[in-house]
Amino acid sequence: MKARVHVMLKNGVLDPQGEAVRHALGALGFDGVNGVRQGKVIDLDLADGTTEAQVAEMCEKLLANTVIESYRIELG
C-alpha cells in the first residue's frame, strides 16, 4: 500500500524558505508571484493492512511538527 503525506506550514507561520523562493522568482523576472509557501511531500510504501489512523499517528509523532505544520494524507 502506498501513502503520500503533504506537510505544510500552518497559516500565520512565517515561511522564510517560501519568501526566499518568492524573492528569487522576482529576481528572475517573474514579478506576478505575490507569495510562496513551501512544504514537503513524503511517500510511504506500507505493508498491506496499514490504516490511515496509523499513518496519522506517524505524522503526529514524527513526520510533521503539528505545532507549526499541518498535514494531509492520500492513500493509494
Coil, helix or strand at residue 73: strand
User: Per-residue confidence of the chain (76 residues) as pLDDT tens digits?
Assistant: 999 999 999 999 999 999 999 999 999 999 999 999 999 999 999 999 999 999 999 999 999 999 999 999 999 8
d(CA 9, CA 55): 19
Pick the CATH number of 2-75 from 3.30.1280.10, 1.20.1730.10, 3.30.565.40, 3.50.50.60: 3.30.1280.10
The whole-number pLDDT of residue 71 equals 98
Adjacent-strand bridge partners of 72: 6
CA 8 from chain centre, in angstroms, equals 4
Neighbours of 15 (CB within 10 A): 18
